[in-house]
Each structure stands twice: as C-alpha cells, then as structure tokens.
C-alpha cells in the first residue's frame, strides 16, 4: 500500500496548523482534512497578497469560496471554524477548538443589535439559564431568517404566523417570540403590543406524550448488559447509564460531573444541578462506585474540576447532552429493546427510576429529594404511570336503572317504558 505524504511546502500557515492538530492527538487523516481547508484560505491570501488574516479578510474569503464552490452546510460550518482558529493562531491567542452548533445567521445590524439587547435582558432581568437564553435567541434569529423584514416596526401578525409554521420547535418559538415582542414594546421600538395577541393567533401544541417514558427493570438490565466494559468507551458508557438509571441524574449534570463531586470515602455524590442551580447530595451506591472507579482507572484526570466524561478520541472534548443521548440510543438498539413511542434519551431512565420508586410506595418527599425536584408537583407527574396501583382505587360501576337501563335492555324510544323501570327517573333524569 502506498504511503501517503503530507507535504505543505510553500504553505507555512497550513503546515503549522497541521502540526498543531497532530500535537493535540488528532490522527494524521483528520489533521490532513482540516489542513486542506486551511490551504484553500492560505492560497487565497497568497493570490490577494495578504499576509495577515482578520475578520474582514475572513468574510471576504468566505463569500468568494461559497460563491465559487457552493459547499454543503456542514462544510461551511467547518470552514467558519478554520477561519476563527486561524485568526487566533496568527494573533497568538489560545485556539478555541470547539465546533459551533450552526452557521451564524447574517442579519441586518439594527436587528442583530435588538437581539443582543434582548439576550442581555433575559440574562439580567429574567434570570434564565445560558442554555435557555441561547434557545430563545436562536428562535428569534430564525424568525428573521425566514421572514424578509428590514425594519423592526414592520413586524406583523402574518410574519409571526409564518415563522411559527417554519419552526421545528414550536413551543420554544412561541415562548421566545412572546418575550421578544414584549421586550420591543416595553422599549418603545414597536407601537403595538403583539406579545399580548400572540397566544390568540398561534395554536396550542398538544402534548403527544402526556406521560413520562418508562422502561421496565428487565429492559434496563438488558441495556446495561449489552455494554462491553472491557474497553474505555464501554466503561464510560456503563458508568453514564448507571448514573442515570440508578440515581436518576440528568444528562446535563452527568456532562458537568467532576472528580470534586465524588466522595469515595463518604460514598456521596455532591453537585449543583445545572437546571435548577440547587445543590443535590446523593448516596454513591456500591455498583455505581464500582463503575466509576472502573472508568476512572483508565482515564487520566488532569485536575479535579474538569469534567470526567469526555470523548474517546481527539480532541477529547467533554460529552454533551446530545452525545449522551446518542449513547443511550446505541445501546437500546444493541440490546434489542424496542422503544416504540417512548423517548430514547437518558431522561427516560430517570423517569423509570421515579416510577419504580412510586410503585414501591416510596414516600413522595423521598422521591422528590432523590430526583432534586423543587416542586412536589413535578414528582406527582409520575403517579399516573403506576397503573397497577391505580386499579386498587377504582370505584365499582353503579347499577343501571331508569331510562338508561331501558336503553341497555333494547327498549325503543317510541315504546312506553314500563313503570318498574322508571320509578327512580325523577332522581337522575329530571
């Protein structure tokens, strides 16, 4: 087999980038893939006689490259990453190797400024979490992306309705647009309070899954049993799914879990929940402790405050919620468990734990404390799924009498109902 040579002679920027990726632990193939994208940028700089790269040069190249090559959306996203890293490399800054979730939308300056101010408003005065704020501002940006609006005062109900039809997350869209329109009205940017009429013009989205998704104990054992724990990846995945199924920890908290949160001496897990910002202390169960020790035994930890669950390949970023969702889905398929209409993420394991505790008549207060719920109502949502216990409280069906009994006996409406069938009609039917 012919050995491939990575020769970037005459392209010093490309060669530096290639070596930087190798030093971070990337494979030669991965480093070469990105280096070839860098080479396109450096070739453009050489042709244009440019020795430095900044935001203006990056935008100029990006427009020229998109017009010339018509690349896919995924390739455009990767090129934006390359341009950002090159700017940081040339300026001597620390290179940010993270990938953006999507290509930034190009909106008119005054509209983008209003969204930036809205983002600051959500953070300062609404006290929302960063993830929630990002989802809300993303929804507003997509609203402008699908509508041709050049002035904020031109926003109309038809624009709002069209944006709703184009949105993939309709409840998020409704929530975000109402807050944004209220913000514009309070700031005097628009004259009509469109946020007040928004609930009237947009339909309510019915909940397709009114009950939490639940897997049986046998299904959960099959999922855990399908994991190959002899590998680093298998040890990691087993520990993650055990934390979700045995302790009901949310995926967002598993992503952020550090060595500081684990006390192997006191057998406790202590962390601040990302969703509620409320501290939570859970017992470190023996099987969970064993799984964590098994994973940490083959995982190098540089500091006690860095996330312990990371990717198994370079660049070794911490796992995201989507990454954990992918892990759960992989082992569902591997175990031969058919989810049907049930959800496929680790939150279903959390729901399963809650329902099993309710089924075993664990007090609601204890369930609430284990799950880290702030409101008792959140815990009570798991009660309807215990069908077995609900049957214990069913009421007997009352005996039919009067006209209803006559109807059940097949008496036609035009026939006179015998007196003995109607002696209690005055109690129910008058």
Per-residue pLDDT of 304-314, as tens digits, reads 888 999 988 77
Q: Is the dihedral of CA 23, 26, 28, 32 positive or negative?
A: negative
pLDDT of residue 281 exceeding 90:
yes
pLDDT band at 2 (very low <50, low <70, confident <90, very high): very low
* Kind plus residue range of the DSSP H or E element containing 279: strand 279-283
Three-state DSSP state, 271: strand
Q: How far apart are CA 131 and CA 336, in angstroms?
A: 33
The span from the first CA to the last CA of the chain, in angstroms, equals 94
pLDDT band at 29 (very low <50, low <70, confident <90, very high): confident
pLDDT of residue 3 exceeding 50:
no
Reported as half-sphere exposure (CB side, CA atoms, 13 A), residue 109 has a value of 0
Would you state the pLDDT for residue 20?
84
Q: How far apart are CA 426 and CA 428, in angstroms?
A: 6
Tokens, residue 169? 């997350």
Highest averaged pLDDT of the listed ranges 20-34, 76-90, 170-184, 368-382: 170-184
pLDDT of residue 392 exceeding 50:
yes
Q: Is the dihedral of CA 408, 413, 418, 420 positive or negative?
A: positive
Tokens, residue 275? 């969703």
The arithmetic mean of pLDDT across residues 79-92, rounded, is: 80
Would you state the pLDDT for residue 191?
87
The arithmetic mean of pLDDT across residues 18-47, rounded, is: 85
pLDDT band at 12 (very low <50, low <70, confident <90, very high): confident
pLDDT of residue 402 exceeding 80:
no
Confirm if 194 and 157 have CB atoms less than 8 A apart: yes
Q: How far apart are CA 268 and CA 331, in angstroms?
A: 27
Confirm if 140 and 177 have CB atoms less than 8 A apart: yes
pLDDT of residue 159 exceeding 70:
yes
Rg of the chain, C-alpha, whole Å: 30
pLDDT of residue 86 exceeding 70:
yes
Tell which phi-psi region holds residue 99, choosing left (phi > 0), alpha (psi between -120 and 50) or beta: beta
CA distances from 405 to 201, 202, 296, 338, 416 (A): 46, 45, 70, 45, 14
pLDDT of residue 207 exceeding 70:
no
Look up tokens 């020790």; give the residue. 293
pLDDT of residue 381 exceeding 80:
no
pLDDT of residue 4 exceeding 70:
no
Confirm if 30 and 9 have CB atoms less than 8 A apart: no
Return the minimum-mean-pLDDT range out of 22-31, 257-266, 405-414. 405-414
Return the minimum-mean-pLDDT range out of 43-47, 298-302, 406-410, 420-424. 420-424
pLDDT band at 209 (very low <50, low <70, confident <90, very high): very low
Residue 216 makes CB contacts below 8 A (sequence gap 6+) with 352
- Biggest alpha carbon distance in the chain? 108
pLDDT of residue 36 exceeding 70:
yes
pLDDT of residue 391 exceeding 90:
no
Q: What is the pLDDT of residues 328-367, one digit of tens each?
A: 999 999 999 999 888 899 999 998 998 888 888 888 788 8
Highest averaged pLDDT of the listed ranges 63-72, 173-182, 199-208: 173-182
Tokens, residue 171? 């409840």
Confirm if 315 and 280 have CB atoms less than 8 A apart: no
User: Which runs of consecutive H residues, i.e. helices, occur in 97-156?
Assistant: 109-121, 130-146
Q: Is the dihedral of CA 228, 229, 231, 237 positive or negative?
A: positive
The arithmetic mean of pLDDT across residues 191-215, rounded, is: 74
Q: In what order do the strands lie in the sheet with 268-272?
A: 262-263, 268-272, 279-283
Would you state the pLDDT for residue 268?
94
* Share in percent of the chain as helix, strand, coil (round to 5): 60, 5, 40
* Mean pLDDT, rounded, of the chain: 83
* Kind plus residue range of the DSSP H or E element containing 232: helix 232-247
pLDDT band at 322 (very low <50, low <70, confident <90, very high): confident
pLDDT band at 206 (very low <50, low <70, confident <90, very high): low
* Kind plus residue range of the DSSP H or E element containing 176: helix 170-186
């Amino acid at each position: 087999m012919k050995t491939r040579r990575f020769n970037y002679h005459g392209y010093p920027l490309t060669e530096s980038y290639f070596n930087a990726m190798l030093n971070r632990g990337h494979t030669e193939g991965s480093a070469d893939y990105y280096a070839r994208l860098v080479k396109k940028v450096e070739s453009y700089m050489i042709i244009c006689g440019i020795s430095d790269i900044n935001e203006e040069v990056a935008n100029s190249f990006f427009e020229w490259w998109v017009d010339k090559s018509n690349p896919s959306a995924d390739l455009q996203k990767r090129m934006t990453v390359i341009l950002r890293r090159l700017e940081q490399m040339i300026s001597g800054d620390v290179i940010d190797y993270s990938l953006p979730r999507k290509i930034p939308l190009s909106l008119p300056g005054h509209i983008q400024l209003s969204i930036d101010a809205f983002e600051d408003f959500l953070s300062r005065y609404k006290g929302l979490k960063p993830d929630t704020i990002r989802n809300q501002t993303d929804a507003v940006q997509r609203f402008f992306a699908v509508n041709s609006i050049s002035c904020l005062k031109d926003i109309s109900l038809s624009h709002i309705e069209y944006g709703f039809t184009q949105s993939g997350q309709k409840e998020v869209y409704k929530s975000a647009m109402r807050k944004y329109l209220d913000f514009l009205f309070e700031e005097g940017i628009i004259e009509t309070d469109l946020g007040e009429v928004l609930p009237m013009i947009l339909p309510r989205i019915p909940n397709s899954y009114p009950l939490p998704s639940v897997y049986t104990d046998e299904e959960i054992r099959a999922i855990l049993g399908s994991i190959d724990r002899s590998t680093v990846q298998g040890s990691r995945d087993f520990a993650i799914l055990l934390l979700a199924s045995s302790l009901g920890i949310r995926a967002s908290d598993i992503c952020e879990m550090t060595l500081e949160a684990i006390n192997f001496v006191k057998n406790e897990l202590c962390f601040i929940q990302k969703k509620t910002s409320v501290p939570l202390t859970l017992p470190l169960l023996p099987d969970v402790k064993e799984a964590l020790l098994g994973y940490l035994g083959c995982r190098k930890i540089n500091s006690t405050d860095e996330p312990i669950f990371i990717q198994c390949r370079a660049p070794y970023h911490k796992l995201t919620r989507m990454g954990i969702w992918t892990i759960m889905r992989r082992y569902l398929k591997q175990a031969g468990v058919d989810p049907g209409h049930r959800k496929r993420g680790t939150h279903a394991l959390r729901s399963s734990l809650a329902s099993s505790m309710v089924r075993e008549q664990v007090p609601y207060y204890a369930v609430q404390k284990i799950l880290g719920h702030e409101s008792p109502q959140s815990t009570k949502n798991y009660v309807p799924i215990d069908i077995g216990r609900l049957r214990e409280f069913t009421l007997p069906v009352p005996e039919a009498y009067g006209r209803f009994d006559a109807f059940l006996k097949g008496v036609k409406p035009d026939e006179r109902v015998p007196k003995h069938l109607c002696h209690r009609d005055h109690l129910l039917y008058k």
